[in-house]
Amino acid sequence: MKPKKYFVSSFILLLLLVAAGASRAAVKSGYHCSDCHTMHNSQDGRPVATELNTSTYTFEADTTPNQFLLVSDCTGCHTSTGSSTIVNDTPIVFNTFTLVDPLAGGNYYYVKSDDSKGHNPAGITSQDSVLGLTPPGGTTMAAQLRCAGQYGCHGDRSAGNEYTALKGAHHADDSGGVDGSSVGLSYRFLKGVVGKEDPDWEQDNINTSHNEYKGSTGPSADTISYLCSRCHGNFHTWTGGASAVGTSSPWLRHPTDIALKASGEYANYTTYSMTAPVARPDPDNVPDTTRVRPGTDIVMCLSCHRAHASPYYKILRWDYKSPTLSTALSGCNVCHTSKN
């Protein structure tokens, strides 16, 4: 991966079509190979690829060819200088100047001014000025976080770089379902993770149409929280274990991949909240996606955090220090209802 290089254009933003529903992972018919690929990175004597100058956030010609004849890398095709978070069916995870309707994972727009509000992947920002290369609850990495590959979340995490990590994923046909058997057949190209993908990446932010995340009340490598634990192991119930998290209340750290209790204050969380979503033991078979089933549905990392970045400290879904946090169902008290 070439550091700090992105590409944005309405012409080629289709490169990394993240899966969103049974037919949207694969490159659609009607698009051209040249929308995403360039045979020689040369047209009329000029480069086809484009890079973003991260000092000025303007796009410049990129004379260096990319692997697999691509016109850009991950961040390049998921970055926009406009405010929209879906452009030509492509989810935008980094809006450089203005932002409306962030998607489920949040937006790296927020880390431009504050490292603590998001992950810090190379190509978008420098490494965290406080944490460096050491993720909270984990061990120091040998290199800065990437979008995909060995030091990333997406793609094949045994691959050396982002290009090989995602090889072929955008041409995969997931019409038969997401089962985690390959990158292209995994939830949001997170290899091995399963779930159901909202067609608009939760841009509309309504509980009648949302992602369904996999959770498990025992050790399982296909949950979204287990993926997080690869870097933040001490914060995960099964990866960190009793010495790091505990086994029951009072917990040492907040549990993840554990069922929401069906008694006490937790039993009152029955309407699915976009503020504090839950995971499901079987995302493909949820009786009513607008409802929560205490005792069955599962607390996960994304119940409290966004995946990429948020407006709040530590990528939280809400302002943990807000003086009004306990006066409405706007954060912790979505689950802890007696604290409202």
pLDDT digits (tens, 9 = 90+) for 227-286: 999 999 999 999 999 999 999 999 999 999 999 999 999 999 999 999 999 999 999 999
CA-atom Rg of the chain in angstroms: 20
Dist. CA 7–CA 178, nearest whole Å: 28
pLDDT digits (tens, 9 = 90+) for 304-322: 999 999 999 999 999 988 8
* Burial of 287: CB neighbours in 10 Å, binned 0-12, 13-18, 19+: exposed
Dist. CA 224–CA 194, nearest whole Å: 8
Confidence of residue 173 (pLDDT cuts 50, 70, 90): very high
pTM equals: 0.89
Q: How many CB atoms lie within 10 A of CB 281?
A: 17
pLDDT digits (tens, 9 = 90+) for 60-73: 788 999 889 988 88
pLDDT digits (tens, 9 = 90+) for 193-224: 999 999 999 999 999 999 999 999 999 999 99
In the chain, the amino acid numbered 12 is: I
In which region does residue 214 sit, left (phi positive, over 0), alpha (psi from -120 to 50) or beta (all else)?
beta
Confidence of residue 29 (pLDDT cuts 50, 70, 90): low
Beta bridge partners of 299: 258
Q: By three-state DSSP, how is residue 264 classified?
A: helix
Dist. CA 114–CA 69, nearest whole Å: 35
Looking at residues 36-54, what average pLDDT do you find? 85
- Parallel, antiparallel or unpaired: strands 258-259 and 298-299: antiparallel
Terminus-to-terminus CA distance in the chain, angstroms?
47
Q: How many CB atoms lie within 10 A of CB 9?
A: 17
